Amino acid sequence: MVAWKVAESLERLLAQLNALAPHRSKASDGSIGDAAHASRDSDHNPWLVLNDQPLVTARDFTHDPASGLDCATLANDLWWNKDERIKYVIWNRRIMSGAGGPSPWLWRNYNGTNPHTKHLHLSVVADARCRSARAWILDGATSSVSGPAGLPQLEEGDSGPAVLHLQRFLKRYAPSYAGQLVADGEYGPHTIAAVSEYQKRLGLPVVGRVGPRTNAALWQAGYRG
């Protein structure tokens, strides 16, 4: 009987996050399932066998923003980069499937008993790709913006990369808000409309420009500029 191991892709991500946040809490980290986890979350068990190697294809990463691992950022990075090794991600009452799952790359409500507010769950695909130890792209985790106050304030007439990043975020992270929005780096009528819709849904003053309160909400959603 060959001993189980955690899929190499997950071990690589763990190593990257530990390097980025060496003092982070690991209180809610986990790979192999305990009894409670096993009953609800089978990817924590070594049910996948590739070339006689039993593999665990899920890991939990503890949310510890004070020590450098903000799972909202991590979730946004995973969404943004759409790595083919992702089967699904659960974070903060939402679930997102990878390319092979239902509604790929869209965050959907997650109503499981554990809301996943203390850790992010990542399952990787059940094929050879999960054994790739290629580095994960973690733009946000290495962003120099350290809080919502560091995000740019934007309004009609602004243009450039900051507007482009905002548009991409609104389009792809929350497509229902984005309407006709084209990511062109120009803060025009469609950007105003998308920002207004975002503000309306969040109960913020609907002003169509991005100031501190909207940046705080965007930050909460994982946006890092």
Q: Is 29 exposed, middle or buried (0-12, 13-18, 19+ CB in 10 A)?
A: middle
The values of phi and psi at residue 193, to 5°, are -65, -45
Q: Which stretch binds Zn ion (CB under 5 A): 4-12, 120-128, 151-159, 211-219?
A: 120-128
Q: Give the shortest CB-117-to-Zn ion separation in angstroms.
A: 13
The values of phi and psi at residue 88, to 5°, are -160, 160
- Looking at residue 153, what DSSP letter applies? P
Instruction: Indicate whether 63 belongs to the interface with Zn ion (CB under 5 A).
Output: no
Q: Which is nearer to Zn ion, 44 or 224 (CB)?
A: 44
Q: Which stretch binds Zn ion (CB under 5 A): 59-67, 160-168, 197-205, 215-223?
A: 59-67
Among 33, 60, 79, 173, binds Zn ion (CB under 5 A): 60
Q: 53 in helix, strand or coil? A: strand
Q: Which is nearer to Zn ion, 75 or 183 (CB)?
A: 75
Instruction: Indicate whether 121 belongs to the interface with Zn ion (CB under 5 A).
Output: yes
Q: Give the shortest CB-156-to-Zn ion separation in angstroms.
A: 43
Using CA atoms, how far residue 122 sits from 55, 62, 159, 185, 221, in Å, is: 14, 11, 36, 32, 18
Q: Give the shortest CB-31-to-Zn ion separation in angstroms.
A: 9
Q: Which is nearer to Zn ion, 60 or 77 (CB)?
A: 60
For 167-221, the DSSP string reads: HHIIIIISGGGTTT---SSB--HHHHHHHHHHHHHHT----SSB-HHHHHHHHHT
Q: Which is nearer to Zn ion, 121 or 165 (CB)?
A: 121
What is the contact surface with Zn ion in residues (CB under 5 A)? 60, 121
